[in-house]
């Protein structure tokens, strides 16, 4: 693993308190206009999915939400929920180790590291992606494998979520990483984690469609993404023009289709990962490309 100046854990984890205890979630039919700006200090963010919005607050915010609904009659409150942060994340958010990386929330006071570890401070907010999912840990292992023997100067992380994989790529020595997610809250969370790790000069967060960025000339593409998006990406000629790509997040039947498509390209599958026969990850090298340009 390439060591960088960002491996100093004591510099990253400095007097940061756990900002989330309880979550107050308002499930709304309809999407907020981009012009709506909720400035309340308790507002955490808005997760939009299809024609629905999930507003997250750290305190009960019934009055504020009611005013919002009155002002925007196209919005309808469906339900509201109160849960702890750990309940939302599916468990206690804590230090995770995978592929030579140590991922920890910045409010952790005691970080167990060794000189070989690369530390990443990660505040997932209310976005999923703390490093515990097997597809994420397999991607981190794949990143570690690539950077042991290759020089990767540019990369795309498609469906970046919290930005974890993009940060891992940058901390491994990559000069330019573009982290893309269609969800604004995910892109915003990634931007916060970029600043948290002081990687503003290496990692750039963008809110947009993966299809709109796959043509960028980069050395490495990571797509830990739903198959309904991936199936379109792998049909673009630009996808097969990358030097390396890591494909993950695929179920068994989807992985078979991915392998069938890859067999039509001049590539070598360096390694396959699977978890309980369900989740599949592939590290793939393009045999016909020597070097790519930097974004």
Whether residues 203 and 262 fall in one domain: yes
3-state helix, strand, coil split of the chain in percent (to 5) is 30, 30, 45
Whether residues 199 and 249 fall in one domain: yes
Whether residues 138 and 84 fall in one domain: no
Structure confidence by residue, pLDDT tens digits, 98-130: 888 999 998 876 566 666 678 999 999 999 888
21-47: average pLDDT: 91
d(CA 98, CA 250): 19
pLDDT score, position 110: 58
Half-sphere exposure (CA, 13 Å, Cβ side) for 187? 16
d(CA 237, CA 21): 46
Higher pLDDT, 118 or 19: 118
Whether residues 184 and 272 fall in one domain: yes
| 101-104, strands of its sheet edge to edge | 96-98, 101-104, 118-121
Under DSSP, is residue 79 helix (H, G, I), strand (E, B) or coil? strand
Whether residues 138 and 82 fall in one domain: no
Q: Is residue 295 included in any domain, yes or no?
A: no
Parallel, antiparallel or unpaired: strands 244-250 and 52-57: unpaired
pLDDT score, position 109: 64
C-alpha separations of 119 from 4, 29, 81, 104, 134 in Å = 10, 40, 34, 8, 19
For residue 238, what pLDDT band results from cuts at 50, 70 and 90?
A: confident
Which residues touch 120 (CB under 8 Å, ≥6 apart)? 101, 102, 103, 104, 164, 167, 168, 171, 197
250-263: average pLDDT: 94
Give me the CATH number covering residue 69. 3.30.70
Give me the CATH number covering residue 233. 3.40.50.150
Q: Which of 56, 88, 120 is the last residue of a domain?
A: 88
pLDDT of 292 > 70? The answer is: no
For residue 197, what pLDDT band results from cuts at 50, 70 and 90?
A: very high
Whether residues 147 and 42 fall in one domain: no
Q: Is residue 293 included in any domain, yes or no?
A: no
Average pLDDT, the chain: 88
Q: How many domains does the chain have?
A: 2
For residue 13, what pLDDT band results from cuts at 50, 70 and 90?
A: very low
Structure confidence by residue, pLDDT tens digits, 39-62: 999 999 999 988 999 999 999 999
For residue 4, what pLDDT band results from cuts at 50, 70 and 90?
A: very low
| Containing structural domain, residue 57 | 22-88
pLDDT of 162 > 70? The answer is: yes
157-178: average pLDDT: 97
Q: Is residue 60 included in any domain, yes or no?
A: yes
Give the pTM.
0.87
For residue 94, what pLDDT band results from cuts at 50, 70 and 90?
A: confident
């Amino acid at each position: 693993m390439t060591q960088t100046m960002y491996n100093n854990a004591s510099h990253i984890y400095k007097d940061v308190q756990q900002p989330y205890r309880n979550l107050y979630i308002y499930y709304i039919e309809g999407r907020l206009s981009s012009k709506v700006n909720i400035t309340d200090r308790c507002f955490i963010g808005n997760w939009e999915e299809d024609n629905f919005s999930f507003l997250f607050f750290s305190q009960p915010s019934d009055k504020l939400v009611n005013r919002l609904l009155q002002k925007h009659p196209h919005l309808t409150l469906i339900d509201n929920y109160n849960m702890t942060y750990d309940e939302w994340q599916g468990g206690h958010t804590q230090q995770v180790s995978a592929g030579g990386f140590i991922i920890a929330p910045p409010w952790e006071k005691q970080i167990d590291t060794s000189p070989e570890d690369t530390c990443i401070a990660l505040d997932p907010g209310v976005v999923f992606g703390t490093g515990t999912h097997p597809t994420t840990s397999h991607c981190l292992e794949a990143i570690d494998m690539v950077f042991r023997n290759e020089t990767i100067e540019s990369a795309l992380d498609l469906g970046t979520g919290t930005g974890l994989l993009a940060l891992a790529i940058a901390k491994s020595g990559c000069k330019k990483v573009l982290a893309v997610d269609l969800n604004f809250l995910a892109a915003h969370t990634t931007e916060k984690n970029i600043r948290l790790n002081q990687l503003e000069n290496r990692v750039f967060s963008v809110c947009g469609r993966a299809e709109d960025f796959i043509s960028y000339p980069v050395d490495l593409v990571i797509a830990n993404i739903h198959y309904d998006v991936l199936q379109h990406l792998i049909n673009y000629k630009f996808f097969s023009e990358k030097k390396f790509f890591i494909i993950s997040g695929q179920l068994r039947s989807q992985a078979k289709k991915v392998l069938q498509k890859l067999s039509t390209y001049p590539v070598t599958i360096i390694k396959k990962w699977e978890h309980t026969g369900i989740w599949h990850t592939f590290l793939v090298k393009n045999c016909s490309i020597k070097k790519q340009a930097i974004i």
